[in-house]
């Protein structure tokens, strides 16, 4: 067996995201300790992780160079946060999205950690300065926001707060690269970080187009899945501009007037309620009925698509 990578990683909260992080760190050869307020949750998580790793190995999609068994043996459970944090080089918090709960966890960790470990939160939308203000080890704190499902979608947004040391960002960046994720540096904290700001811009115009009866809900989704999304899986909106003309300068020269004209017609922020929510919900339920069975099956199909897309992206990069 290849020797484990240096240092131990601790996962606080072994739900959906905690389990994914554990698998990713083990794929990079790191020893991982899982802690949860519910000990049974850790037992269940370890079982699920080992099953999932076997499945991924059989389907040729297991990340890293170690076997499923070797990766599985790198992950263990821990009964107390104190025991988990001892000797750790990176702690990834994955408890539910609740500011008071997360602040409590970081305050507890602040009392038991040394000045070398990085304290990282998986929060989707809490501002780092709200999470870390006043901590003795504030310089070592950062948000590392993954995208669901993190095993197949590699982006991680690294969001510092004003007191985060540059070395904390650099170390977390290097660690994310080491486990095969794709980190981006958000230079300054901002509500929604970068990913959700882009996502909400898209959702809001999608909603307005449906609300105003310009396109049906199912056609709206096709505009993305069979249109914009095809290239966005490979190149972003800025590179799209660059390639859609003779470079960026040419694109702005040709299209900026049209873009500005269209952008001026964008409406106010939708309130996501009333008749439009009924209409969108009805259309979505025709496609995927909203009972747990149908939703789970569709999510499984989505993850299978993402897994194959991830493989394709790897092949395309190595050409
Ligand atoms: P989850 O509800 O699946 O898991 C949370 C886990 O934390 C549970 O196992 C729970 O028992 C445990 N927990 C609760 N209180 C605790 C405590 N005091 N100490 C230790 N463990 C405790 O939640 P999920 O979906 O894994 O989300 C975790 C974090 O990741 C949240 O901040 C969320 O915003 C973020 N996130 C979630 C994404 C998603 O799509 N689910 C995507 C990206 C980030």
pLDDT score at 6:
74
**What would the pLDDT profile of 79-114 be if each residue is shown by its tens digit?**
999 999 998 999 999 999 999 999 999 999 999 999
All residues at 6 or more sequence positions from 27 whose CB lies less than 8 Å from its CB, including other chains: 62, 63, 64, 66, 71, 179, 180
Fill in the DSSP letter of residue 160.
Answer: -
pLDDT in tens, 254-309: 999 999 999 999 999 999 999 999 999 999 999 999 999 999 999 999 999 998 99
Give the chain's count of helices (H) and strands (E).
14, 8
User: Cβ neighbours of residue 109 under 8 Å, at least 6 residues apart?
Assistant: 12, 81, 85, 91, 93, 119
Q: What is the pLDDT of residue 270?
A: 97
User: Which residue's alpha carbon is nearest to atom 1 within ligand 1?
Assistant: 15
Domains in the chain with CATH codes: 8-185 (3.40.50.720), 195-287 (1.10.1040.10)
- The three-class DSSP label of residue 146 is strand
Distance 189 CA to ligand 1 centre (A): 21
Which amino acids bring their CB within 6 angstroms of ligand 1? 12-18, 36-38, 41, 94-97, 101, 105, 122-124, 145-146, 148
- Is the per-residue pLDDT at 2 higher than 50? no
Query: Residue 313, preceding bond cis, omega within 30 degrees?
Result: no
Distance 122 CA to ligand 1 centre (A): 8
Give the whole-angstrom CA distance, residue 169 versus residue 154.
17
Q: Which residues pair with 185 in a beta bridge?
A: 158
pLDDT band per the 50, 70, 90 thresholds, residue 132: very high
Q: What is the pLDDT of residues 157-209, one digit of tens each?
A: 999 999 999 999 999 999 999 999 999 999 999 999 999 999 999 999 999 99
Does the pLDDT of residue 35 top 50, yes or no? yes
Give me the pLDDT at residue 265, please.
Answer: 97
Closest atom of ligand 1 to 102 CA is 18
């Amino acid at each position: 067996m290849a020797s484990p990578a240096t240092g131990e990683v601790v996962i606080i909260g072994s739900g959906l995201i905690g389990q994914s992080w554990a698998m990713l760190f083990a794929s990079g050869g790191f020893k991982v300790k899982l802690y949860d307020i519910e000990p049974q949750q850790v037992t269940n998580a370890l079982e699920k992780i080992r099953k999932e790793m076997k499945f991924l190995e059989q389907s040729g999609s297991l990340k890293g160079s170690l076997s499923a068994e070797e990766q599985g043996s790198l992950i263990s459970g821990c009964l107390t946060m104190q025991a988990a944090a001892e000797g750790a080089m990176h702690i990834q918090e994955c408890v539910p999205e609740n500011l008071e709960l997360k602040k409590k966890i970081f305050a507890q960790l602040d009392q038991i950690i040394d000045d070398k470990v990085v304290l990282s939160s998986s929060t989707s939308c809490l501002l780092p300065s709200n999470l870390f203000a006043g901590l003795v080890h504030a310089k070592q704190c950062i948000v590392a926001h993954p995208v669901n499902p993190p095993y197949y979608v590699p982006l991680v947004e690294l969001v510092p707060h004003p007191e985060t040391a540059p070395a904390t960002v650099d170390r977390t960046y290097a660690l994310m690269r080491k486990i095969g994720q794709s980190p981006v540096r958000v230079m300054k904290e901002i509500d929604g970080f970068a990913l959700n700001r882009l996502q909400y811009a898209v959702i809001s115009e999608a909603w307005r187009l449906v609300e105003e009866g310009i396109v049906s809900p199912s056609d709206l989704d096709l505009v993305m899945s069979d249109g914009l999304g095809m290239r966005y899986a490979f190149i972003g909106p800025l590179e799209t501009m660059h390639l859609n003309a003779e470079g960026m300068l040419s694109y702005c020269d040709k299209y900026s007037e049209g873009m500005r004209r269209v952008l001026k017609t964008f409406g106010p922020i939708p309130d996501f309620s009333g008749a439009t929510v009924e209409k969108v919900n009805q259309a979505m339920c025709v496609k995927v009925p909203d009972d747990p069975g149908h939703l789970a099956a569709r999510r499984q199909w989505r993850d299978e698509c993402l897994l194959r897309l991830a493989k394709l992206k790897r092949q395309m990069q190595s050409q």
